[in-house]
Structures are given as structure tokens and as C-alpha cells.
Structure 1
């Protein structure tokens, strides 16, 4: 090869090397700073305690603080707005619940669409409601309740918290599926409802295990059925409403982590993996079970499907009950 040819070949090689793509920049690991979880309830409730238990473990596992930001408000609107104002980078998350699914048909102008505006990450836990009577009540089963309601239309009272709550709509669903005419009495707060049930002001109370636990332990209240599809892990001897003859009846509440839509999939993957590992921890399972909650993670796809299914379910219940949209 002539000198000129060798020089030309060398120049071509240098040009080729210079034109080769530079190696991709290494992605910054997530998270590198604190993460905020916006919660649509005040401190101390079941949802708040659930997310705090999980957040503490996420802080340990991922090495950054997971901070709870309580933003209570009707329909979860205040919390949703706060979460959606954050950047779509995984550093602002939201706790959504089955109450979010109820808000879609319940509110005339909900300023967010939970299906389109949020990306599902993972569920944290599931819990059912209990059908509870006063300890001295004549009702010992759901069938006792149905028999009296059919014999005396409108005479039996079901107590729940406020209209449009999961508990209240559970009563509407029971009324519809059992084919009975009962009077549903809403109370402003859970303590008011528990007192009413203890005194016998309502024949049956529908609320969570956590709300009834103390009075059940004092033998002032007695559970006759649970609303879940299978028996509760915390009360395995308690029959379900479905087992009691109202076939297909099922109400399960859930708490779950979502991110603003557009959050990078790799970030959602990191969070889903970490949450799955956290809720499988024995101490986390134990703490939540004490509240009547079954700690259970999900894939983002499973959670998204659950949200859509619950929106459809509660839309039908609200429409059939003729509940006025707020």
C-alpha cells in the first residue's frame, strides 16, 4: 500500500470512530430524594395508618424518605389536585381507594378522571365490612334479618355512615340483592354509628372491623356476617353475606398507590417491586391484619382493572338507588 493510501485509510478509521454513537448516559437511579404520598383522609384512619406502615418500610428499602401528606376533602378532590400538580417523575404519588371509584358516579363535576389522570402502581391492602348487631339483638344471621324485613317491609333499620360512602352503598347493594325493603339510616361519623348500634337504635350496622372491634371485644356488639367474597382472615369463623344466602354479594374496600399519568414506566416498576416486597413482610401483614386489612400487592394492570370494575359496579348501585349526585 502506498503512503498516500495508508494515510487515507487511517483518516477513514478515525472518522468512523468519531462518528460512532457515544455510549448511552447511565440513568439516575430512583429515588434520589424524598417522595411525597398524598392521602385523601386525615391522620389516624384506616387508610392513613395503612399507608404509613408501608411508607416506613419503603423508606428503609429504597433509602429515601416517603412522606405522608394528608389532604382530606370530599371525593378525594383536594388530594387528587395536589398530587396532579406535581411533576410526573415518581416523587409525588397518591393514595386512591374504592372511594375514588364511587366518586366518579357520585359527583356531577369531578375535576379529575382517575382512570386517565393516574397510573396504577400497586394495591396495599383489602378489607371487607361487617354486618353487626347489638349483643342482645334477636338477629343472629343475615337470614334472620331478611326474614324480618320481608315480614315487616320498611321496619328494619340498617345503619351506615354518610350517604355515598362505601358502607352506605353496601347497604343499598344488600337491599337490592336481597330483595328487601329496609330503611337505611346514615350517621355523620363512625362513633355516632357505633353508639347507635350499641343502643339498638339501628338493627344492623355496616362498617369496618376496626370500627367495631372494641365494642365486639367488650361483647356489646356482635358480627353476623362479612361482606367479602371469602371469609375474613381476621374472623375466619364468620360467614359471608354470600354464604348466608345473598348469592353474589361482595363488597371489598381497597387502598392503593397511584402516580400521575405519564410517570416513567421504570419508576412505576421500581415502586411496584418495592411495595410487593414490603406488604409480604410478616410484621407488615400482622400490623394491618390487626386493623382487619389483608396486606396484598397487585400488578399495575390488576389494579387498573379493579378501579374500572368498581366504577362500573358503584355507578349501577347509585343509579338504582336513585342517590342524587353531589
Structure 2
């Protein structure tokens, strides 16, 4: 390569870096679209609407405008962000569903790792194993013992084929060494009713929508997390019930299109960490059955890679047909 060519390339590179730095310094100068892959009213939507104004405060008051684009696997929302300009004005609420979709679908219109800039994690969602309050099972050990005594006769419920909840049941069967029938429902209210009436002997769901029923129609058998959830200190972990290898937690965070200038990614990450540390945000999240969780961008990227591999293994072992 000639000296002129090298100098030209160096000048072009320096010019691009200067433009990126300038963009980062002036960011944001207009509203930011925050795209969610599910409808309004769910826990993920509530979290986004809780933290969006706080993030906005740290970004000079520029609003984060939430845009709900529900679809199977959150694919429509993720594709919209993957194809957007990497200028920081289009963000994605990335979730566990993004990882399960990568495991469940034979092909996606984007690469879950390469087509995104990972900004940072926002929260983790605890799951819960619940049974009818007036049912025969007082603890998880009792349910497992009954399933071993009557292979295939116990019904376990979840929602959404290929969802984290569904795959958590398949993992539970494997770790507990039991045979059971998995029944998938279209919605959480249907699942809760099936648990309460004994149509299924236990249900597996994220904690937030089940919490209001615990102590009423439902009994919490265990939470598959490393430690007890602070809002339900009376419910043991699955490790305490004899399954130390059974841990399932959902999570979410923020991604942007690949190629986002580092300065913008760093600023957004700082805002996530700042907001996650706010006591009022933490208290409200815990009321929803959610724990605040923040960290560096690499931690979210590593989590996504690990979760895709984990769910891919669950799908393969359970023999679930990919979509």
C-alpha cells in the first residue's frame, strides 16, 4: 500500500472518530424511541415506563418514547432496532425472550449478537413454582416425590410454547429426574386458574403476576433463584428444596443497533446504573417481583450468549420442535 493510501485511510478513520465524538457530545438532541417486543400493561412494559422518565432526566430532558410492537418471540421489535441507524435514537428492551427466540427459531431476520450494541442490564425477574393453596402439596419436595411415585401422572403448567416459562418446566423435569405432562396455556390468568382449581398440580411463571395470588388461591412452593426473594422471605429457594442446579431467572436490558458510537453507549449505560440505584425505583420494582440489576455492557452480552446456549440445550434435550 502506498504512503498516500495509508495517509488517506488514516485521515478517513480520524475523521470518522471525530464525527462519532461530536455525536456523542451532543447526544441526545431529540426524543429517543424505545421499542418493546410486547404489548402494554405487562411487567416489562411497566418497568420501561417506570424508568424512562428517570433516564430522560439524565439525558437533558429528552424523552424516551415507548413504542410497543408485540409479536412472537419479540422478533418484530428486535428486527426494527437491528435495521435502524446506530445513532442512539432507537433502542430495544432486550429480554429473556430474545434469547429463547434464538434457541427456538431455526432462522431469525437478524443475528442476536452481531446485530446489536449491548448497553446494559436493567432488571432480573424471579420465577415461582406455585400450587393450589388448598392442594395436597405443602412443599416442592412433596411434589417431586409424588411425580416420582406416579410417572407421567402429574401435570405441570406454563404459558407460551418456547417461552422461558415453558422451557423452565422442561429443565425442571430434567433436573428433578421426573416424568410429567406439560400443559401450556395461552395466558397467565388461564394458568393461574388452572393451578388454583387443580387442573395442573403446579405452575411455573414469572413471580410478578402470581404474587397477588400467593397467600390466597395459590401457595408458593419455591423460587428458582440463588437467594430468597426479599418480598417473599417465607418462600424457599429451589436449592433449599433439594435442587441446587435448578435456577431460572428472566431479565431485561437495553440494546441498540450494532455500530453505536462508544460514547453514546457509555452514557446510556451510566444512566441505567444511576436509575437502578434510586431507592424509589428499587422499591417499586420489588413490589412487582423484580430485582434491579445493572452492570457494564459486556456483562449483558455475555449473559445473552450464555442464555442462548442454555436454552438451546434445553430445547434439544426436551426434543422440542424448533419453529
TM value normalised by structure 2: 0.91
Residues 53-202 of structure 1: pairs in structure 2 closer than 5 A = 53-62=50-59, 63-202=61-200
Matched residue SS, 1:312? helix
Provide the C-alpha distance between the structure 1 equivalents of 2:212 and 2:231, rounded to a whole number of angstroms.
Answer: 14
Deviation at 1:85, TM superposition (A): 2.9
Gaps of 5+ in 1: 1-23
- Determine whether 1:222 maps to 2:219: yes
Deviations 1:103-157 (A, max 9, x none): 1120112111111111111111001210101111111111101110110001111
* Structure 1 residue corresponding to 2:245, chosen from 228, 243, 248: 248
Provide the C-alpha distance between the structure 1 equivalents of 2:223 and 2:203, rounded to a whole number of angstroms.
Answer: 11
Matched residue SS, 2:161? coil
Provide the C-alpha distance between the structure 1 equivalents of 2:160 and 2:86, rounded to a whole number of angstroms.
Answer: 34
What is the RMSD of the two structures over their aligned residues, measured on CA atoms?
A: 1.3
Matched residue SS, 2:214? helix
Deviation at 1:84, TM superposition (A): 2.2
* Structure 2 residue corresponding to 1:266, chosen from 263, 274, 277: 263
Provide the C-alpha distance between the structure 1 equivalents of 2:312 and 2:277, rounded to a whole number of angstroms.
Answer: 33
CA contact (8 A) 1:50 1:124 kept: no
Provide the C-alpha distance between the structure 2 equivalents of 1:216 and 1:253, rounded to a whole number of angstroms.
Answer: 20
Residues 11-90 of structure 1: pairs in structure 2 closer than 5 A = 27=22, 28-62=25-59, 63-90=61-88
Aligned residues: 302
CA contact (8 A) 1:40 1:72 kept: yes
Matched residue SS, 2:131? strand
TM value normalised by structure 1: 0.90
CA contact (8 A) 1:30 1:270 kept: no
Who wins on radius of gyration, i.e. which is larger? 1
Provide the C-alpha distance between the structure 2 equivalents of 1:95 and 1:212, rounded to a whole number of angstroms.
Answer: 23
Deviation at 1:34, TM superposition (A): 0.6
Matched residue SS, 1:81? helix
Provide the C-alpha distance between the structure 2 equivalents of 1:279 and 1:132, rounded to a whole number of angstroms.
Answer: 29
Provide the C-alpha distance between the structure 1 equivalents of 2:307 and 2:224, rounded to a whole number of angstroms.
Answer: 15
Deviation at 1:75, TM superposition (A): 1.4
Provide the C-alpha distance between the structure 1 equivalents of 2:122 and 2:321, rounded to a whole number of angstroms.
Answer: 31
Deviation at 1:237, TM superposition (A): 2.5
